[in-house]
Amino acid sequence: MIKTRWLVGLAAVATGCAALLPTPAVRHAPPSAAATGAEPAIHGLRDVRGAIELHSRHSHDGTTPVSTIARLARAVDLDFIIITDHNTLAAKPEERLTGRPLVLVGSELSTSAGHLLALFIDQEVPHDQPVERIVEAVHAQGGLAFAAHPLWPKKPWTRWDLPIDGLEIFDFSTMLNEDATPWLLLKALVLPNPWFWRTTLQRPSAVLAHWDRQLATRPLVGISGHDTHAHAGLRPFLVDSFQSGFHLVSTHALATELTPRALADAIRRGRCYVGFDGVADPRPFLFAVQHRRGVGLMGDHIPWQPDLTAIVRVPRRGVITLYRDGKMVGRSHSVGARWVLEHPGVYRVEAFLGKRPWIFSNPIYVEATP
């Protein structure tokens, strides 16, 4: 699906050889508030990281055994991987539901509305039926339906009216297609593969803007997608290798334990974020809203009330930006920030190290009271 395969193929061989102004929606919490307010703790939750949308030999365009993908994931200390071969659950017998990494099997379904990830399902869902029935069938199994590479020019997701659970807010295919220029080839010619990916990395502005528009109408969970087939390039020099993808980015979930059920629950609730681990380890990351009765985390719905305080903590000094309804409303160059929220809205956080994306949070929904 990468339209520049011939371009990155040549690059892979060479590689192997060599904003808007702030609005008055928030205000910085005064030092006294920061000094007297206890830092919220995320008790009972662990930050587990994994890779979603991986293609094995069971896909028509994949050749890698599931066992090899799992071994590569273990080598970079991933907690879970989700295999999503095209229109099949053929890898189900190779699932591993305990230990690290969990090896889970879903499917990428080719529908009339675009590509849909069917996650946490046990029975195959035929893709050659109305897309409404597909989403119903996924949910009937307790599964999750995510739009894969939703703005991919060749086949974008078109049915935003359907009750899907979320979308990929970052994926490798879109990133490569957006940067399909001679500059891409030049970078690949002179840089080792990991550095090629890091310097190609950019904020997925179009997808994030689309996500913000959708969030104005209903909750929608954002995850990262690898879409790795390990076939862009010439062996043994592959631009879309599993190793490079696993090093660069992952979906981090705040789960009660490392089990399929707890992982599905965390992702379903939006208690997760996209972390660019190849830029720097984002853990521990905290995005919370403190209110009179406690603390709201990503995915939570909180009635608006005076003196709600958004709290962000990151492990290294970076550029932290708070968004409300898609507009920047606060920015801090630090390891953390506190803002008093003055309006209802959908709040989310982005963090950068220098010019590189580092963390994209899921939203906290601060809802107007009747």
More confident residue, 36 or 182: 182
Nearest CA-CA partner of 296 in 366, 354, 343, 231: 366
pLDDT value at 121 more than 90: yes
b/e map 55-72, b = 16+ CB within 10 Å: bbebbeebebebeebbeb
Nearest CA-CA partner of 110 in 63, 66, 68, 61: 61
Secondary structure (3-state) at 244: helix
* Parallel, antiparallel or unpaired: strands 221-225 and 166-171: parallel
pLDDT in tens, 314-359: 999 999 999 999 999 999 999 999 999 999 999 999 999 999 999 9
pLDDT in tens, 34-56: 333 345 657 789 999 999 999 99
pLDDT in tens, 231-275: 444 444 445 578 888 989 999 999 999 999 999 999 999 999 999
C-beta separation of 362 from 348 below 8 A: yes
The pTM score is 0.87
193-200 helix and 182-190 helix, angle to the nearest 10 degrees: 150
b/e map 224-245, b = 16+ CB within 10 Å: bbbbbbbbbbeeebbbbbbbbb
C-beta separation of 237 from 12 below 8 A: yes
Q: What token pair was written down for 121?
A: 């399902």
pLDDT in tens, 202-222: 899 999 999 999 999 999 999
pLDDT in tens, 52-96: 999 999 998 778 999 999 999 999 999 999 999 999 999 999 999
Architecture of domain 5-18+44-281 in this structure: Alpha-Beta Barrel (3.20)
C-beta separation of 276 from 282 below 8 A: yes
